[in-house]
Amino acid sequence: MRKTMSFLILLLAVSLLPGFELPVSQQPVLEDSNLISDFVRVDPDDSLPEPLSTKAWFWQDGNNLMIHFECEIDEKFAEGNYVDRDTNARADMLRIQLNTLPEEPFAYVFLAYPCGSLGDGVRRQDMSLDYKWDSQYSYQSSHTDSTWSLTFTIPLGSLRFKKGAPYNWKVILTRYHYAGAETFSSPYANTDHKQTYFDSMHAITLTQPIKRDSKIELRPYFVKSYDLINKTSSFDPDMLGLDIALTPTQQTRIKISFNPDFSDTPPDAAADIYNIDVPYFYEENRFFFTEDIDAFGVSRTAFNSRNINQPSFAYKGTGIIGKTKWGILGALDKEVTQGGYVLNRDDYYQVLSLISTISDFTFYNATVSRLNKGYYNHLYSGIYRYQIYKNMDICATVIGTIRQDDNATDTSVKKGYKADGTLSFYPGRFVFITSYNKTSKDIYADAGYLYYKDLQAYSVTSSWNSKPMYGFLKQANSFASVDGLDWFHEGGTDSELNYYGNLFLEFKPKLITTCFAQVGNVHDNWHRDHDHYSFGTSITLNRWNEFRPILNLIRSHTMVYALNDTYDCNSFYATMVGTLAKKYTYTLTWNLMDYGYPRENTIDYGGTPYTIHLDDRYSIINAKFQYMPSLQLSLTTGLSYSSYESQGAYADLGYYANLRYEFKRDWFIYAGFKSAQTQDEKPTSSDYLGHFTKDSASAYFKVSVSL
């Protein structure tokens, strides 16, 4: 009760703090009138004042917001190392969160590290951070043995805000100490408090009019590739492309791309795709589709950009009209044929979205379409969220689809739906969520990722976060859930019930351990009921920069879909990451799977026996090594390996190398190669590596400039 009253008093005090007007100057203004220095600890969440003095001064210099920090440091100050943009530098950090539309629950995020690495993004209403948004911000950083000095320069013309000075905005400042894993904030603001996080921000006023950026940015590129197997090079219209970025109004962004190129995108890592009932979900890693995609308010169920293979033309636009955000995305895919067969159709994809906020109501509305001659699939996605109380909200999601394909066996029009309802209650350190979902049989989301149909699901979950602890144990969290699932089919209903729980413990020597257990039942393709379970533990030692291991051990009795039966499985998962000499970083993962089924199995399908060979013990390895001597130059190499044996293939090997050089701001040179190989002969005593056949190998050179 006392803690609750203290929080309410603190929140009331923050809400009554008067905002201050920023001075206008081309020189630093370091006065008490534009100073913020009241930092308190929010992680651990005990509101203790920052023991090391942290001061921040604000002023406006034309179209730039300037913020100068003077931070007292000690021997634990962590400088970190160079990392790619929007990548954790594992160092001390300063963060600015700027809300230029105070009535909207969002904030621009700008990070600064002692090493100079960049990181920027947007904080969403659900408290998540989207680092796919990039700006032209910069900062100057230097430090002595006692003081870290840093000055942010944030260009304002490219941000979204209402026209006409004065501009009444909000801001939160954050300082992070890497050595003690402590976070300090001014003012006090905790993401656990949801909507009140944005309400507690400092108010600032800018009086000088801001000239919006209305420039047109052109980014042409040229790619030269070479097939290392066929010894042939290529130069055709596909090797040339152009990106166009427009800002026609203050709150509108448009990007058009002709023949977007993804040659510098690393290949997907090796994954355990051998015992799944639906196609494996690969995360999107192409910048055009990752940038601003969260602004459309659609889930991966409705739209998964990985369905777009290689677009010949793509465009994207986002903007704000009043209290409504809009977004549009379109892409025309290329047709790919081989041996007279169409491997990928030239479908057209389109997403249209409108997001409105009225008081405590937020409405997400979007349509997703995939079209071609004689084929269409349209989808409507609606998300309706209402903040009932400060610590309670309700959310409803509706998806409706219509589909027809003249080339399919069944050419009739298919109509389907998916409906979800979720009630969330988060008093204090507890979170309770209950949800229900119903999915029809004839729903089709060909532009998304949807494979489970004709079912209903319901769940109840609860979680708890402990108070800050100052002994050997620093923090404890727990989570528990009960999930029910009903699969409908012509013969009846298959009902499943699963129980899950975990316990998270963080100890003072930067040791984290998690224990979990799950038990329930599952049905196979013949509607037979099976019991399953799993339990395991995860251990993370986050103490050294050079070597940070993560170990996972899992024992399970799980469904093997190819055999329609459950078997024992032991899995071991290890990750090692580290930084060497501040310029070299590495990541190594190893996943070992050991199943209890026979390697050779005879399955009866309709009275006909089939022999199925399954590898019962295999490893999946991924490795990545990066050399980054500066923020402008990086060399990245990677390797993926799977020892899963199937149909004469004993292993799969892939490797790549990418060089990126930014010789001028936003002017890039890329070069690299990649190869995929299959092991067709096992290792012997005379040949320890066996024999590998190259499936593909290519090299590329790419130049991209900004005009």
User: Are residues 334 and 446 both part of a single domain?
Assistant: yes
- Domain-located, residue 186: yes
CB atoms within 10 A of CB 213: 15
Is 39 a member of any domain? yes
Confidence of residue 6 (pLDDT cuts 50, 70, 90): very low
Same domain, 60 and 163: yes
d(CA 201, CA 39): 13
The residue type of 334 is K
Do 323 and 177 fall into the same domain? no
Q: Is the preceding peptide bond at 468 cis, omega within 30 degrees of 0?
A: no
The residue out of 436, 451, 466 marking a domain boundary is: 451
Of 177, 206, 235, which one is at a domain's C-terminal end? 206
Q: What is the pLDDT of residue 235?
A: 54
> Does 439 reside within a domain?
yes
422 inside domain: yes
201 within domain boundaries: yes
Range with lowest mean pLDDT among 156-160, 298-302, 593-597: 156-160
Cis previous bond, 187, omega within 30:
yes
92: domain CATH number? 2.60.40.1190
Closest CA to 591 of 613, 610, 576, 607: 576
> Quick one: pLDDT at residue 108?
94
Q: Strands (DSSP E) along 178-250, which ranges? A: 182-186, 202-206, 216-227, 232-234, 240-246
Q: Are residues 183 and 52 in the same domain?
A: yes
Q: Same structural domain for residues 333 and 440?
A: yes
DSSP of 110-129: EEE-TT--EEEEEE-TTS-E
Q: Looking at the structure, do residues 193 and 318 belong to the same domain, yes or no?
A: no
**How far is the C-alpha of 434 from the C-alpha of 461, rounded, in Å?**
6
299 and 168, same domain (yes or no): no
Q: What is the tens place of the pLDDT at every residue in 437-459?
A: 999 999 999 999 999 999 999 99
The answer to whether the CB of 241 falls within 8 A of the CB of 261 is yes
pLDDT at residue 175, rounded to an integer: 98
My answer on whether 299 and 178 are in the same domain is no
Q: Say whether the peptide bond before residue 166 is cis (omega within 30 degrees of 0).
A: yes
The whole-angstrom separation of Cα 327 and Cα 445 is 20
The stretches of 244-312 forming alpha helices (DSSP H) are: 287-290
**Shared-domain flag, residues 168 and 58:** yes
Q: How many structural domains is the chain composed of?
A: 2
Cα gap 47→200, rounded to integer Å: 14
- Name the maximum alpha-carbon separation found in the chain: 87
Task: Mark which of 451, 471, 490 sits at the end of a domain.
Answer: 451
For residues 21 and 248, the model is more confident at 21
Q: What is the average pLDDT across 484-504?
A: 96
Average pLDDT over residues 541-559: 94
Q: Are residues 343 and 428 in the same domain?
A: yes
**Whether residue 333 is found in the same domain as residue 431:** yes
The single-letter code of the amino acid at 247 is: T
Residue 221 lies in a domain: no
Other CB atoms within 10 A of residue 140 CB = 12
Percent of the chain with pLDDT over 70: 95
221 has a pLDDT exceeding 90: no
pLDDT of the residue at 648: 81
Contacts of 296 (CB under 8 A, 6+ apart): 303, 318, 327, 329, 351, 353, 366
Query: Which segments within 471-564 are labelled E, that is strand?
Result: 473-489, 492-507, 511-523, 529-541, 548-560
234 has a pLDDT exceeding 80? no
**What residue numbers bound the domain in which 416 lies?**
279-451
Q: Would you give the end-to-end CA distance of the chain in angstroms?
A: 60
Residue 257 maps to a domain: no
Tell whether 676 is covered by a domain. no
β-partners of residue 376 are 371, 404
Domain identity same for 199 and 302: no
Average pLDDT, the chain: 89
